[in-house]
Chain A
Amino acid sequence: GAVVSQHPSRVICKSGTSVKIECRSLDFQATTMFWYRQFPKQSLMLMATSNEGSKATYEQGVEKDKFLINHASLTLSTLTVTSAHPEDSSFYICSGIPRANYGYTFGSGTRLTVV
């Protein structure tokens, strides 16, 4: 089955620092990947759509300068949380589409804690 590898699984960082999260599609090419955020006991909220070779598109209310997305190849998308604050602490999950009209495959998620 389609696999999306996400790294790191957990990270703790200090306020004001930046954190990079990587998402790799291991056995399919991902022209598009999606980044979600999930706060405790809440659902997944779509943050942005990552497009290979072009700029990401962000959902309303998501700061593009704070959540930098790079999708330089067909198998790698990265999300960088810049100048992290405690309120950015959340579970970040990426996803890719293995084939058309198929459910998205999710990475294992990254638990970010900003102290």
Chain B
Amino acid sequence: QKEVEQNSGPLSVPEGAIASLNCTYSDRGSQSFFWYRQYSGKSPELIMFIYSNGDKEDGRFTAQLNKASQYVSLLIRDSQPSDSATYLCAVNRSNTGKLIFGQGTTLQVKP
């Protein structure tokens, strides 16, 4: 079982729609969770981080965490073509400080 799992996609949504990206993790001891966006040929950039169960909103982005289900998600409202990228879920492996990444979900927002 992979430590962090994501559906590789591609996930295709029309412009203006809500994109929903999901991630599961195996380490119950993990306490912090991150979403990164990566454009082709570039390094990842941090979108959001979440530590507590529930929702965390930042602009068009909402991260959701359910530790009991070991599930993290990212919602992107009013999706724009510029949001087309690969979205990486990352989990801080418990007691190590190491950030472990899922394989990423490719999002395509069509005009």
Interface size class of B (residues with CB under 8 A): 20 to 34
Q: Flag if A97 contacts B97 (CB, 8 Å).
A: yes
Besides the contacts A34-B99, A46-B100, what 11 more A-B pairs have beta carbons closer than 8 Å? Answer: A32-B97, A43-B101, A44-B44, A44-B88, A44-B101, A49-B98, A95-B99, A106-B43, A107-B43, A108-B42, A108-B43
The number of inter-chain residue pairs (CB within 8 angstroms) is 48
Q: Give the 6 A-B residue pairs with the shortest CB-CB distance, closest first.
A: A103-B46, A109-B43, A106-B43, A43-B103, A44-B101, A103-B34
Are A43 and B102 also in contact (CB < 8 A) when A93-B43, A101-B32, A106-B44 are?
Answer: yes
A20 to B49, CA, bound (A): 32
Residues of chain A whose beta carbon lies under 8 Å from any beta carbon of chain B? 6, 32, 34, 36, 42-46, 49, 93, 95, 97, 101-109, 111
Let me know if A101 and B51 touch, CB within 8 A: yes
10 of the cross-chain contacts (CB-CB < 8 Å) are A43-B102, A46-B101, A49-B97, A93-B44, A102-B49, A103-B46, A103-B99, A104-B34, A104-B46, A106-B45
Query: In the complex, how many angstroms separate the beta carbon of B26 from the nearest chain A beta carbon?
Result: 15
Partner of B46, one of A101, A105, A111: A105
Task: Give Cα A36–Cα B43 distance, bound, in whole angstroms.
Answer: 11
Q: Which of B17-35 contact A (CB under 8 A)?
A: 32, 34
B98 to nearest A CB, angstroms? 6
Report whether A43 and B104 are in contact in the complex, using a CB–CB cutoff of 8 Å. yes
Contacts of B97 in A (CB 8 A): 32, 49, 97
Closest chain A residue to B45 by CB distance? A106
- For B103, what are the chain A residues with a Cβ–Cβ distance below 8 Å? 42-43
Tell me the smallest distance from the CB of A108 to a CB of chain B, in Å. 5
